[in-house]
């Protein structure tokens, strides 16, 4: 992953280095497009101790390991991964200009794959990480719903709202 002061042009700028952004980078790079992925490093996937719902890993894979493999694959086909944060995006006549601290990109197209952020419980980082690793804390009904099938679980109002939304979909 690159982290430097830069100003570059590309065919496609992908904002977000999680699974969606990296999958797009792999495909677009294989179509011989000049692709840059800008990654702030906040992908929810990196917090998943053992992910079971990603194709090709029937025994599961650690979230950070999955992201590492996907970055490696995108770079293998010519994609560039840059550590940073896009703070401004402007549309020009035939391009977009994206800017952040120490970085400016001009791109024919921009793909936003910024994902979502967890609403973390009020607990210190070590306790939070331990709860995730031990399977006591789950965030994603799609990723983790199967993992907690059967046992009764406790939830606050937000958790109940999420569960009801999943039932209605």
Q: Within a domain: residue 118? A: no
pLDDT computed for residue 60 by the predictor: 92
DSSP 61: B
pLDDT computed for residue 162 by the predictor: 64
Q: Within a domain: residue 152? A: yes
Q: Name the token pair of 53.
A: 């719902």
pLDDT computed for residue 39 by the predictor: 96
pLDDT computed for residue 22 by the predictor: 98
Task: Enumerate residue ranges in the chain where pLDDT < 50.
Answer: 1-5
pLDDT computed for residue 28 by the predictor: 98
Nearby residues of 22 by Cβ (< 8 Å), 6 or more positions away: 37, 67, 70, 71, 73, 74
Q: What is the CATH number of the domain that holds 19?
A: 3.50.50.60
Q: Are residues 75 and 137 in the same domain?
A: no
pTM: 0.79
Q: Are residues 146 and 75 in the same domain?
A: no
Q: Within a domain: residue 117? A: no
State percent of the chain over pLDDT 70. Answer: 84
pLDDT computed for residue 165 by the predictor: 62
Residue carrying the six token digits 């830069």: 6
Which residue range is the domain that position 145 belongs to?
125-168
């Amino acid at each position: 992953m690159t982290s430097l002061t830069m100003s570059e042009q590309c065919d496609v700028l992908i904002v977000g280095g999680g699974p969606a952004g990296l999958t797009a980078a792999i495909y677009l790079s294989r179509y011989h497009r000049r692709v840059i992925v800008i990654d702030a490093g906040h992908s929810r996937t990196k917090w998943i101790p053992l992910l079971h719902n990603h194709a090709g890993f029937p025994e599961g894979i650690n979230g950070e390991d999955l992201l590492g493999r996907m970055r490696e694959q995108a770079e293998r086909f010519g994609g560039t991964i840059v550590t940073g944060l896009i703070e401004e995006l402007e549309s020009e006549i035939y391009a977009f200009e994206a800017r952040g601290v120490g970085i400016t990109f001009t791109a024919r197209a921009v793909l936003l794959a910024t994902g979502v952020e967890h609403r973390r419980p009020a607990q210190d980082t070590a306790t939070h990480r331990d709860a995730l690793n031990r399977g006591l804390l789950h965030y994603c009904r799609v990723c983790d719903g199967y993992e907690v099938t059967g046992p009764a679980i406790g939830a606050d109002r937000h958790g109940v709202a999420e569960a009801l939304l999943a039932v209605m979909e």
